[in-house]
């Protein structure tokens, strides 16, 4: 199934590139360089700074995701296990979840100043709520019969966490990450517009709006897309490794 899907993705990519090349050849304007030029620029620019910009961005996204998982997953597990705790927290989550965190960017940057922290916090804020809600719901959906029978096997709180709650919430964590990669990368662009000299967002903005070097700008967009795609594939691969039970094949 995956092979077919990957092949389809490649074919679609090829079709899009062809279309792009065609339109660029017809339009003949600097704003739309042909993909061949973008790719050669990309290859040339990677060792000359673009690579380092991409690494800075990658670090920010991965750090935000890791922090969000570390903070939201245990809290989600706790809320999912305790009806009383959840009753207390649910109204707050209900109010805070839909706030568009991107709009908070200026405030976060103002409050936390320059450096890595505000950029990571900004992405963290979005991921945090998505992971929290998904993990909470998956922990709450664990059948009481399952918990009882595992407790009867001798499991105390620690073993229940290790053998039941952790594996049960893993798919939710991965789903949450995958769902938020697109948002995280988009936010990255916004976050990197401010007070930094490294990062793909900065690179794209610099080349697009200051240097008017469109092939380089497109190379930056390409790098950012590849970053998102790479993360997406990584989560996909993790999910297939860790959550094989979710797609039972008929015997």
Partner 1 sequence: MSERPPAPMLEACRLHFAYAGRPPLFVEFSWSVAAGETWAVLGPSGCGKSTLLMLAAGLLRPQQGDVRVAGATLHRPRPRTGLILQEYGLLPWATVRQNVALGLDIRRFYGPDGRHAPQDERLEDHAARVDYWLERLGIAPLADAYPAQLSGGERQRTAIARTLALNPDLLLMDEPFSSLDAPTREALQILTLTLCREQQLTVILVTHALEEAAFVGQRILLLGRPPHHVPCIIEAPHPHEAAYRHTPAYQALCAELRERLEAEECS
Using CA atoms, how far apart are residues 111 and 56, in angstroms rounded to an integer?
A: 22
Q: Dig out the tokens for 26 from the structure.
A: 């017809």
Cβ distance to partner 1 smaller for residue 14 or 141: 141
Cβ distance to partner 1 smaller for residue 28 or 249: 249
Cβ distance to partner 1 smaller for residue 44 or 244: 244
Q: Give the nearest distance from C-beta 156 to partner 1 in angstroms.
A: 6
User: Footprint of partner 1 on this chain (CB under 8 A)?
Assistant: 143, 145-146, 148-156, 158-159, 162-164, 167-168, 170, 243-246, 248-251
The label of the residue with tokens 């969000």 reads 68
Listed residue (250, 231, 237, 215) closest to 30, CA to CA? 215
Using CA atoms, how far apart are residues 127 and 9, in angstroms rounded to an integer?
A: 27
Cβ distance to partner 1 smaller for residue 36 or 149: 149
Q: Give the nearest distance from C-beta 168 to partner 1 in angstroms.
A: 7
Listed residue (194, 54, 182, 196) closest to 127, CA to CA? 182
Q: Give the nearest distance from C-beta 167 to partner 1 in angstroms.
A: 5
- For Cα atoms 131, 115, 128, give the angle at the middle one, nearest 5 degrees: 5
Nearest 5°: phi and psi at 194? -105, 135
Cβ distance to partner 1 smaller for residue 48 or 158: 158
Using CA atoms, how far apart are residues 117 and 120, in angstroms rounded to an integer?
A: 5
DSSP 3-state of 194: coil
Q: Give the nearest distance from C-beta 239 to partner 1 in angstroms.
A: 12
Cβ distance to partner 1 smaller for residue 67 or 155: 155
Query: What is the CB neighbour count within 10 angstroms for residue 138?
Result: 21
Q: Give the nearest distance from C-beta 161 to partner 1 in angstroms.
A: 11
Q: Give the nearest distance from C-beta 150 to partner 1 in angstroms.
A: 7
Nearest 5°: phi and psi at 226? -65, -35
- Beta-carbon contacts of residue 112 (< 8 Å; ≥ 6 apart): 118, 121
Cβ distance to partner 1 smaller for residue 29 or 247: 247
Q: Give the nearest distance from C-beta 172 to partner 1 in angstroms.
A: 12
């Amino acid at each position: 199934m995956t092979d077919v899907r990957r092949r389809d993705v490649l074919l679609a990519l090829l079709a899009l590139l062809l279309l792009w090349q065609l339109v660029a050849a017809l339009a003949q304007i600097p704003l739309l360089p042909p993909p061949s030029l973008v790719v050669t620029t990309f290859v040339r620019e990677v060792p000359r700074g673009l690579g380092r910009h991409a690494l800075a961005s990658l670090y920010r996204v991965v750090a935000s995701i890791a922090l969000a998982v570390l903070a939201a997953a245990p809290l989600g597990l706790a809320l999912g296990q305790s009806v009383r705790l959840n009753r207390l927290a649910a109204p707050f989550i209900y109010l805070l979840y839909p706030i568009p965190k991107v709009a908070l960017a200026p405030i976060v940057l103002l409050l936390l100043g320059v450096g890595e922290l505000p950029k990571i916090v900004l992405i963290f804020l979005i991921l945090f709520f998505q992971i929290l809600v998904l993990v909470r719901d998956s922990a709450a959906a664990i059948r009481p019969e399952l918990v009882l029978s595992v407790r009867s096997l001798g499991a105390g709180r620690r073993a229940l966490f290790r053998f039941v709650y952790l594996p049960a919430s893993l798919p939710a964590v991965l789903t949450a990450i995958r769902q938020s990669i697109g948002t995280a990368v988009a936010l990255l662009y916004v976050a990197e517009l401010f007070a930094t000299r490294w990062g793909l967002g900065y690179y794209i903005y610099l080349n697009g709006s200051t240097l008017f070097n469109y092939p380089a700008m497109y190379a930056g967009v390409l790098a950012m897309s590849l970053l998102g795609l790479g993360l997406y594939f990584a989560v996909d691969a993790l999910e297939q490794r860790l959550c094989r039970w979710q797609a039972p094949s008929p015997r």
